[in-house]
Structure 1
């Protein structure tokens, strides 16, 4: 019973070799057949050819979408991190359904390949046409096809259509930007004219030209008159205390004091329309209003300075006839196939076949050992194997026992 409970196990290299040696004829026969079939498959399998191209979008500091659109933090199609708007535009053109339809119709995929539906053709596009963004910001595009000339024609067609679509979008964006800036410039000019006219009317009504200088002059004039008024009041008090009230000196001193007081009050309250001196009572209001009008003119002027260069850039971008998508490397007709790798295919098939064959041989060794040493377990295993036969499985589903 000890032997029955301990079936033979291949624990050393010699154990494995001994099993293979016992089954050497079967191994040689089957592996030879597999080798022949693998070689036939490697030579008869469809060949694929690889053609690539490299394009470079314009830098962000030239006329293009980078001047008009905000930066987007995207990670698309294998690229990560911050991509410029120009790169994002090219990637979206490559991924667009319009580009897929152009390639499918141009090279007659629906009839040339087993793509009976448009959906399958789109799937083939995603599998056979790839791209990635390099660290330098260029876009690497490659195509795998069953014909070398077809691969080169496809990649060059994609590059040409991408450049054409890129140019169309950038020019359209520049046109829209130019129209928007043109309307905004007209509005800005009207606002500037209104602000200038309002300041002109205010200056004509108040006589204010330079409020800071005029207020400073008003303060100095009032201080001078106030000083004279105080001196006149002191003189009047001295004379009135020493001379009769009706004396000519007292009357003259009183008249001088009253005249200076009246003049001081006039300057303090307000100024005339054409006066240079601004009354202190109205100085805060006049200054604030003047600053508001002047600030509006400055604001509209700054807006005009900002809009004019943008408007000129949009006009230049709109007038361009060619896009700035630079083709660094055009697609070439590949001289060698891309896949399959025949040696790798043959070796892989042989290795997988040998592993499967060895597992089957090991199972047969164990099955034979059960038949000789453990009839009870052998009968159980044999019943399971018989039940797994296709005809018995079918009868089982029909409600009959195998």
Structure 2
């Protein structure tokens, strides 16, 4: 069996050949690498310095919790009205989107005269340039980082802090508007509920006036209270669903949850009333006159509970509308940066120098390959290169 030469010997030869090529063209490699590095240094020195300043805020839940409390007594599915008003996104995500609104951009552009600073004739162009210089990031903990980059360190810090002020103002304005809408909606519903309660009370009083002596079992009275409470929760849940449907489609998760809660309450009421035409099982032995009394009493208790719930919700809505305190907590105010953030000259020079070194080494191997190439093959490559020149020239002309 013939002996095979060891592969390590071939590897050593290839490495030596490669090192020989690099050594042969070392002047070219060093010249290209140094020239590219010097050009990069000169270019980086011509760039304007930029400074970055970061402010960090944490939107707190006071306003959202207050709106949630408005419907916290509704029972059922427990879907908050604040969720319907503010949507499915987190509070931090909402603040991050508000920071990108035209209202805030307009305030910052006006306050810092950015049309002159950015040398823009159109306001929209100034908006675009501003957003290029602003970075907004939301952390997992809900903290929002607002970073502003500018040529002047003081202005970078001032703009970051101004963004915090403006988003706080806008958030307070939005919360007050939402609370106002909720208050108006509940006010109208409360007026209607009070009218229904007055009607139910009049009917019950009229029935009692006609029928002086009426004996209703204690078990039936307890059933009346239970059904009345459930029906009050059902009415409140329907108020919530109506609020959600004013802003969202039926495919919205919170709308679906509210509908599921309503269906659940209706099922509980149906089970308590039984299957016999709305009569309550606990009053099966009550005579027809007593059945009528049970029905009227249940309606009265239901409307009474509805009014009680709506009054609490209405008062909370008024409190939320009047609440104009800060909607966020400043975790870190922006400070004047001491060091520039751009250009990163050392990084630029290192990247360009490494890339130039690699390209020059590749060029050295290509030149060496052509140098040892047979004359006939070299001539073929020259013809190919010659044929490509007119093609390139034609493309440039087009």
Query: Conserved in 1, the CA contact under 8 Å of 2:214 and 2:290?
Result: no
| Structure 2 Cα separation of the partners of residues 157 and 207 of structure 1 | 73
| Structure 1 Cα separation of the partners of residues 131 and 367 of structure 2 | 46
Structure 1 range deviating more: 290-299 or 203-212? 203-212
Indicate which of 120, 143, 151 corresponds to 2:148: 143
- The answer to whether 1:48 aligns with 2:26 is no
Indicate which of 211, 216, 227 corresponds to 2:216: 211
Indicate which of 325, 330, 333 corresponds to 1:327: 330
Aligned twin of 1:338: 341
- The answer to whether 1:101 aligns with 2:106 is yes
Query: Conserved in 2, the CA contact under 8 Å of 1:60 and 1:66?
Result: no
Q: Map 1:89-128 onto structure 2 (within 5 A).
A: 89-113=94-118, 120-128=125-133
- The answer to whether 1:183 aligns with 2:182 is no
State the 1:62 CA deviation.
6.2
Query: Conserved in 2, the CA contact under 8 Å of 1:387 and 1:393?
Result: no
3-state SS in 2 of match to 1:132: strand
| Structure 1 Cα separation of the partners of residues 40 and 396 of structure 2 | 37
Structure 1 range deviating more: 158-167 or 49-58? 49-58
Aligned twin of 1:243: none
With over 3 angstroms needed to count, the CA separation of the structure-2 counterparts of 1:320 and 1:392, relative to structure 1, is closer
With over 3 angstroms needed to count, the CA separation of the structure-2 counterparts of 1:379 and 1:322, relative to structure 1, is same
Q: Map 1:1-400 onto structure 2 (within 5 A).
A: 12-59=14-61, 63-67=65-69, 68-70=81-83, 83-84=89-90, 86-113=91-118, 120-212=125-217, 284-370=287-373, 374-389=374-389, 393-394=392-393
With over 3 angstroms needed to count, the CA separation of the structure-2 counterparts of 1:324 and 1:296, relative to structure 1, is same
With over 3 angstroms needed to count, the CA separation of the structure-2 counterparts of 1:128 and 1:10, relative to structure 1, is farther
The structure showing larger relative contact order (alpha-carbon pairs under 8 Å, at least 6 residues apart) is 2
| Structure 2 Cα separation of the partners of residues 340 and 60 of structure 1 | 42
State the 1:21 CA deviation.
1.5
3-state SS in 2 of match to 1:69: helix
Q: Deviations over 1:315-365 (max 9, x none)?
A: 122222333222222111111112332221111110001111112222111
With over 3 angstroms needed to count, the CA separation of the structure-2 counterparts of 1:306 and 1:338, relative to structure 1, is same
With over 3 angstroms needed to count, the CA separation of the structure-2 counterparts of 1:61 and 1:298, relative to structure 1, is farther
3-state SS in 1 of match to 2:171: helix
| Structure 1 Cα separation of the partners of residues 397 and 137 of structure 2 | 55
* Runs of 5+ consecutive residues of structure 1 not aligned to the other structure: 1-8, 75-81, 216-281
3-state SS in 1 of match to 2:330: strand
3-state SS in 1 of match to 2:287: helix
| Structure 1 Cα separation of the partners of residues 367 and 49 of structure 2 | 39
With over 3 angstroms needed to count, the CA separation of the structure-2 counterparts of 1:64 and 1:56, relative to structure 1, is farther
Rg: which structure is higher? 1
Question: After TM superposition, which residue ranges in structure 1, 4 or more long, deviate above 6 angstroms?
Answer: 71-74, 396-399
3-state SS in 2 of match to 1:137: coil
With over 3 angstroms needed to count, the CA separation of the structure-2 counterparts of 1:87 and 1:296, relative to structure 1, is farther
Query: Conserved in 2, the CA contact under 8 Å of 1:55 and 1:325?
Result: yes
| Structure 1 Cα separation of the partners of residues 131 and 68 of structure 2 | 28
| Structure 2 Cα separation of the partners of residues 342 and 108 of structure 1 | 30
Query: Conserved in 1, the CA contact under 8 Å of 2:161 and 2:334?
Result: yes
Equivalent pairs, count: 312
3-state SS in 2 of match to 1:211: coil
Aligned twin of 2:277: none
With over 3 angstroms needed to count, the CA separation of the structure-2 counterparts of 1:63 and 1:142, relative to structure 1, is same
Q: Deviations over 1:252-302 (max 9, x none)?
A: xxxxxxxxxxxxxxxxxxxxxxxxxxxxxx953212211111111111122
